[in-house]
Structure 1
């Protein structure tokens, strides 16, 4: 790595509840790093407990950039993240420090490290056309259309996920190429050299235990009141990316009387496990990755040795 003249950036990735934040804060005691959050839930203001946002004490000890930058009514794309992250990385590097990117939103990491795919911008006319078709024919019919033109995306996108389904069809109708085809095209090489680490428990059962423990801790905090405050605003709904975040959509359903408390807890834990599974699936195919065990006490030393600092 030392032969590469580009400035260094560190990445700490991993599934939810794996100990990423603790490791990043610990590394700040040994390295001149500044932290950048890579998390599609932590960007939202007023969504603290359900997103496991670093506490005020943690943020005082190690300030995280790109936290609390958006209202829950707003949307945020991988392209938005790349633009914001590159701006913050440049500012950190200009101070003579090292950017440390920490989080679990793998698409953000991929877009930053490999460069953005040449996906077309949203087209309001085509979106309106697709939405009109969905209203008349149903999203299931549109999902079948997607399966014909882009079976890989259709297998990944659930028929009940209108946001991603609409985007995949929109991309094809604008460009004539599938999202799968376009996302295989790499962007320009980054201006940074990335040292990439992933942290997770060696045993899947341990991760599941940590996930359940964290969810139950959230319920002991005023998580219910946090989601009720979002409902009380009156301008938010379950199809927004913010409310679709794991934990929030289950509590939203419970507070609307759609499920009982026991079902909400079971669904919340199951959805968090599914999220962790997707994150691990991404990471298993990730190149140039150094794995760390969440239960090891010497992970900081392992990172330092790897960097030879």
Structure 2
């Protein structure tokens, strides 16, 4: 949902077997992959599989939650049957206690794109983590790596003072970054302060530098609803299906491991954060559905805002009856 990555056989994080039209060669010149983005619940998985039925593609997940093993229901991870239709990459490649960053994604995706092209197939990058799309297309700056000791220090201070106070502290040293973050955006506030404390430079200054290794797509297709009510209905339907499918039991199993905590990026994923808080008794369980749906709507809103900052995208109305047909046709025309 969010989002974002075995034994002998396919490479790590890859599902097999796969289908696709083996007789249609993939172009070997120019840009090297097609991107399919959109807010959560917009129909990206169905569109990607429709493309896989007519073109020899391999799907690379662009989702910061799908990378985590054991987080299947709450992330709307493609089912085993769906993953059998085409090779899938960057799914189930991390334990929930391990971090995964935009820099790691760029490294993984760059390697996979080259490998997929070498197999004569088209890399199809699909997901809703817009930062990952942008980092791959524009290049990524050389910000310092995470520092566990600094993070623990910041978390301790935030526990005592609250994240709005930490946001105010960030505004004193990096007003540009603070201005684009909400006062309770704990993960991003923490990272911006961490960058400042470990490097003496603002996150904004790193972003202002030209990124290295940019790899723009052949085309970026974006499934975007023209009616908010349509997407809200889809989000509610999917959250209800997750609850009916055992989502709470999935979160209980993660908690029972004993080595996970709500501060981890994996457990901050939309849905998991609300379920963890409900199981902690921070609010009545009867409120979980409403809170989970509201958080997912906010995620979709942020995703759409990101997409609108990408003028090169080709927009397809997600609710159009022929949306999938149009995407398939356009992909076949260009790649």
> Structures share a fold, TM > 0.5?
yes
Question: Aligned pair 1:276/2:300, yes or no?
Answer: yes
Which position in structure 2 is the counterpart of 1:259? 283
| Cα distance in structure 1, aligned partners of 2:216 and 2:170 | 36
Q: Deviations along 1:230-264, whole A, 9 cap, x unmatched? A: 11111111111111111111111222222223311
The 3 A distance-change label for structure 1 pair 101 and 268 is same
Query: Which range moved further: 144-153 or 12-21?
Result: 144-153
2:235 corresponds, among 182, 205, 211, to 211
1:36 to partner: Cα distance:
0.4
Q: Is the 8 A contact 2:47 2:327 kept in 1?
A: no
Superposed, which structure 2 residues align to 1:59-98 within 5 Å?
59-98=83-122
- Give me the CA root mean square deviation: 2.3
TM-score, with normalisation over the residues of structure 1?
A: 0.91
1:221 corresponds, among 242, 245, 248, to 245
Q: SS at 1:198's partner residue?
A: strand
Which position in structure 2 is the counterpart of 1:39? 63
The 3 A distance-change label for structure 1 pair 4 and 61 is closer
Superposed, which structure 2 residues align to 1:1-309 within 5 Å?
5-123=29-147, 126-127=150-151, 130=154, 134=158, 139-191=163-215, 193-296=217-320, 297-305=322-330, 307-308=333-334
Q: Is the 8 A contact 2:138 2:216 kept in 1?
A: no
The 3 A distance-change label for structure 1 pair 11 and 145 is same
The 3 A distance-change label for structure 1 pair 138 and 204 is closer
Q: Deviations along 1:155-209, whole A, 9 cap, x unmatched? A: 3434444442222112223444321232132323535643100002221110011
1:65 to partner: Cα distance:
0.5
Q: Is the 8 A contact 1:227 1:248 kept in 2?
A: yes
Query: Which range moved further: 155-164 or 99-108?
Result: 155-164
| Cα distance in structure 1, aligned partners of 2:93 and 2:317 | 31
Query: Which range moved further: 167-176 or 272-281?
Result: 167-176
Unaligned runs of 5+ in 1: none
1:274 to partner: Cα distance:
0.1
Query: Which range moved further: 129-138 or 116-125?
Result: 129-138
The 3 A distance-change label for structure 1 pair 295 and 256 is same
| Cα distance in structure 1, aligned partners of 2:211 and 2:314 | 24
Query: Which range moved further: 149-158 or 133-142?
Result: 133-142
Query: Which range moved further: 171-180 or 76-85?
Result: 171-180
Q: Is the 8 A contact 1:6 1:193 kept in 2?
A: no
